[in-house]
């Protein structure tokens, strides 16, 4: 049986509600999908102990692995519990499932990169949808829209239990119309056709499709966190640089908090050295030793900065590298 999740969005609310197996998880907008895309598969492979079946229930147990757990954990469990397979075969099958996940990640992050991370200031629902369809066509990937139902019926509209279709007359419908107008008057601020909809996703592809459409609808953007390098949807423009995940440098604080506490020193030092080298290279345009040295330094420093932003190296290490390479 396919795993089914229900995703619910609420007007004006940045969180979304994911329901799976009668359990609900309230998570920041699009976060679960983006966590799935940014998950480290290599790390996962080493964490699976195929000889220890009892450990299986803990597979993908981190909050950030919710989507992987829902759509892929059962399949991995099935392979591991298959007594006809040797350990080597089990390993091969698991590797294959992880490869499928990794391919999905690459595909989604490529599409997101094309739709959000290129310089493009013309943002509208139609244009974003256009770009999405364009890149999906380029990549030979077809979008799969999930089924949906409106949730406004749950509390506010009483069901006419005794009503038989054959008995409905024009008068009944007129009564309904009066009831509808009254309903609309008392609920006009909360009822919105684009919101309060429950999407039923049977695959990670359906989830991807609906998250993308919702991001476009709300004119949100997907950005890459300057600290951990993972994708996120900022709630407000002002927090557009860093995400709210635990920072890789210090698990007890978010990337946003970690970044705010960092001395600005290393970034300023980088800018200072960059300016100095750039001015010198411009002044000595014909001196290939200087211009080549600058180009080489730029390539290296870009990598170091990316490592620093991703948390691979610390501010101290980056600073040391900058000083050591400032000739
Ligand atoms: Zn981050």
What does the pLDDT look like over 100-149, one tens digit per residue? 999 999 999 999 999 998 876 678 899 999 999 999 999 999 999 999 88
Q: What is the rounded distance in angstroms from the CA atom of residue 89 to the CA atom of residue 26?
A: 38
Q: Does 215 share its domain with 173?
A: no
Return the structure tokens found at 21. 């197996």
Three-state DSSP at 227 gives coil
pTM, to two decimals:
0.73
Contact 227, 311 (CB under 8 A): yes
Q: Does 172 share its domain with 133?
A: no
Q: Does 139 share its domain with 171?
A: no
Print the domain residue range for 182: 167-193
Number of folded domains that form the chain: 3
Q: Does 201 share its domain with 98?
A: yes
Q: Does 62 share its domain with 208?
A: yes
Q: Does 138 share its domain with 22?
A: yes
Q: How far is the CA of 227 from the centre of ligand 1 (A)?
A: 5
Q: What is the rounded distance in angstroms from the CA atom of residue 219 to the CA atom of residue 221?
A: 7
Q: How far is the CA of 84 from the centre of ligand 1 (A)?
A: 43
* Chain segment 23-63, per-residue pLDDT in tens: 999 999 999 999 999 998 877 777 777 677 667 677 788 88
* Chain segment 20-32, per-residue pLDDT in tens: 998 999 999 999 9
Q: Does 60 share its domain with 209?
A: yes
* Chain segment 222-243, per-residue pLDDT in tens: 999 988 889 999 987 655 788 9
Q: How far is the CA of 229 from the centre of ligand 1 (A)?
A: 6
Could you give the dihedral angle defined by the CA atoms of residues 84, 89, 93 and 96, in that order, rounded to the nearest 10 degrees? Answer: -160
Residue 79's pLDDT is 85
Q: Does 41 share its domain with 110?
A: yes
Q: Does 142 share its domain with 89?
A: yes
Q: Does 35 share its domain with 90?
A: yes
Q: How far is the CA of 169 from the centre of ligand 1 (A)?
A: 59
Q: What is the rounded distance in angstroms from the CA atom of residue 261 to the CA atom of residue 255?
A: 10
| 158 located within any domain | no
User: Could you tell me the CA-to-CA distances from 77 to 39, 44, 50, 57, 105 in Å, in that order?
Assistant: 19, 14, 10, 9, 21
Q: Which residues contact 56 (CB under 8 A, 6 or more apart)?
A: 76, 77, 80, 81
Contact 28, 14 (CB under 8 A): yes
Q: How far is the CA of 311 from the centre of ligand 1 (A)?
A: 9
| 96 located within any domain | yes
Residue 237's pLDDT is 67
């Amino acid at each position: 049986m396919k795993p089914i999740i229900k995703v619910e969005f609420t007007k004006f609310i940045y969180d979304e509600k994911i329901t799976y197996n009668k359990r609900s998880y309230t998570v920041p907008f699009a976060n679960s999908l983006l966590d799935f895309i940014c998950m480290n598969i290599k790390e996962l492979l080493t964490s699976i102990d195929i000889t220890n079946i009892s450990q299986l229930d803990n597979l993908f147990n981190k909050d950030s692995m919710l989507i992987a757990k829902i759509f892929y954990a059962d399949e991995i469990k099935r392979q591991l519990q298959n007594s006809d397979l040797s350990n080597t075969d089990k390993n091969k099958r698991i590797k294959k499932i992880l490869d499928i996940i990794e391919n999905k990640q690459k595909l989604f992050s490529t599409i997101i990169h094309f739709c959000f991370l290129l310089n493009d200031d013309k943002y509208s629902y139609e244009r974003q949808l256009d770009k999405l369809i364009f890149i999906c066509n380029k990549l030979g990937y077809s979008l799969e829209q999930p089924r949906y139902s409106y949730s406004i019926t749950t509390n506010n509209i009483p069901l006419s239990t005794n009503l038989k279709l054959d008995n409905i007359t024009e008068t009944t419908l007129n009564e309904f119309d009066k009831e509808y107008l009254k309903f609309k008057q008392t609920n006009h601020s909360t009822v919105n056709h684009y919101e309060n909809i429950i999407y039923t996703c049977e695959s990670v592809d359906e989830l991807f499709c609906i998250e993308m459409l919702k991001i476009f609808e709300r004119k949100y953007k997907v950005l890459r966190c300057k600290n951990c390098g993972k994708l996120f949807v900022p709630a407000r423009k002002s927090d557009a640089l860093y995400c709210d995940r635990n920072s890789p440098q210090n698990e007890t604080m978010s990337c946003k908090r970690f970044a705010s506490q960092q001395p600005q020193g290393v970034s300023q030092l980088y800018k200072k050295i960059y300016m100095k080298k750039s001015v010198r290279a411009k002044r000595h345009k014909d001196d290939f030793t200087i211009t080549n040295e600058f180009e080489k330094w730029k390539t290296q420093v870009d990598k170091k900065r990316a490592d620093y932003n991703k948390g691979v190296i610390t501010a101290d290490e980056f600073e040391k590298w900058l000083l050591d390479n400032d000739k």
